[in-house]
Structure 1
Amino acid sequence: MEERKTFTISIYSENSVGLLNRISGIFLKRHINIESLNVSGSEIEDVMRFIIVVNTTETWVRNIVGQINKQVDVINTYYHDDEQTIFLETALFKIASHLLFDERQIQNIIKESHSDIVTVARDFFVISKSGRRDEIEELYSKLRPYGIMQFVRSGRVSVSKSEMHISAMLRAFQNETV
């Protein structure tokens, strides 16, 4: 039986309405849960980049990438396992402000976790932590006993260790159309 692993799928596409819905439908049809999703601009002007994290087999991820590449607005899709990428997530923790001053341990947790205090208000303060998912979950478990007022974590952002030839491919395409 093929081993399930975490894969990061990078989709380069035009910025078009409805593409995210079509892409998520590909995962839905195969009963594969999207663990993380991030959509942003890319290193290429007017080209969007979707970063989708899934836990599945390489056979399934290869099939999914093939289906995604068939979408009209998709320029190209790549997939990598965790060893082939450099990735981070970011989280924000909203905590009652009196704890920052009354609980010395909170200050130690912030320092030891290499987190940053991004704002302090009368009733709350906000901690920011960037890192791998396990680092964020560790900070969450340390802060939870003190009471977390709000918590949010971003989707994964990543770059591949190896070169993705998308930029060269698009430059060649632009030169052909000029």
Structure 2
Amino acid sequence: MKQEYTLTIYTENQVGLINKIAIMFSRRKISLESLNTSPSEIEKIYRFTIVVKETETVVKNLVRQIEKIVDVFKVYCNTNDEIIWQQMALYKVPTAIIMKEVKVERLLREYGAKAVVIQEDYTVFEATGQDEEVNNLLQELDKFGLIEFVRSSRIAIIKSSEGIHKKVLDMEKNDPTKQPINNEFLNHKSVIFEM
């Protein structure tokens, strides 16, 4: 049965990486519900947050394939119960209606919306929430002459994850290229050659 999964992919920022990932989705005919990319908590490591509706088997196979990409450090796959997530939305409404209608002001307060831009002919409000909250406010503002609406992609934090920071530090600690070289053996060899 298909359900919503959020994939969190930690990568280096390499040219063509998004294309490699996109090809994996298109080959499997998987549509993206949402895609967001941003810097992570570690410098030069980026985070893709991708939302898909698919079966567990298909998503697990996809995760294994994405993890094989050289520039990918780690891929997490989570259901909505395993993450904390939000979206941001902007709503443009006529300023005149906001000034006249007390209902609109109460509605905006109820949804925690705040004014971002106030112009003579329109006002832009910002609200954050999940799909239901964002859609409910959209339906309510539509009754009052909504001019324009835009919603961001999902951003998410995994409840049980320590993030990638600890994993990267552990990788750096265990990196064989950064181990000190034992010069004792080399010094002994140079003495032999000097004779």
How would you bin the TM-score normalised by the shorter chain? over 0.9
Distance 1:148 1:44 in 2: 40
Q: How many residues align?
A: 176
- Look up the equivalent residue of 1:49 and give its one-letter code: R
Distance 1:165 1:101 in 2: 45
Where does residue 183 of structure 2 map in the other structure?
Answer: none
Where does residue 98 of structure 2 map in the other structure?
Answer: 100
Where does residue 169 of structure 2 map in the other structure?
Answer: 171
**Cα deviation digits, residues 29-60 of structure 1 (max 9, x gap):** 11111001110001111100000001111111
Q: CA deviation at 1:165?
A: 5.8
**Cα deviation digits, residues 48-100 of structure 1 (max 9, x gap):** 00000011111111011111111121111110001100000000011111111
Give the SS at the match of 2:69. coil
**Is it true that 1:13 corresponds to 2:21 in the alignment?**
no
Give the SS at the match of 1:137. helix
Q: Which runs of 4+ in 1 moved over 6 A?
A: none
- 2:2 pairs, out of 1, 4, 13, with 4
Distance 1:133 1:41 in 2: 24
Give the SS at the match of 1:23. helix
- Look up the equivalent residue of 2:68 and give its one-letter code: K
User: Larger C-alpha radius of gyration, 1 or 2?
Assistant: 2
- Look up the equivalent residue of 1:26 and give its one-letter code: M
- 1:125 pairs, out of 108, 123, 126, with 123
Where does residue 36 of structure 2 map in the other structure?
Answer: 38
CA RMSD of aligned residues (A): 1.3
Residue pairs, 1:31-70, within 5 angstroms = 31-70=29-68
More displaced stretch, 165-174 vs 75-84: 165-174
Distance 2:162 2:117 in 1: 38
Where does residue 160 of structure 2 map in the other structure?
Answer: 162
TM-score (norm 2): 0.86
TM-score (norm 1): 0.93
Give the SS at the match of 2:51. strand
Give the SS at the match of 1:35. strand
Distance 2:23 2:146 in 1: 34
Unpaired segments ≥5 residues, structure 1: none
Where does residue 186 of structure 2 map in the other structure?
Answer: none
Give the SS at the match of 1:78. strand
- Look up the equivalent residue of 1:166 and give its one-letter code: I
Give the SS at the match of 1:16. coil
Q: CA deviation at 1:169?
A: 2.1
Residue pairs, 1:135-146, within 5 angstroms = 135-146=133-144
**Is it true that 1:78 corresponds to 2:76 in the alignment?**
yes
Q: CA deviation at 1:148?
A: 2.0
Unpaired segments ≥5 residues, structure 2: 179-195
Change (3 A) 1:147 1:25: farther
- Look up the equivalent residue of 1:155 and give its one-letter code: S
Identity of aligned residues (%): 36
More displaced stretch, 164-173 vs 66-75: 164-173
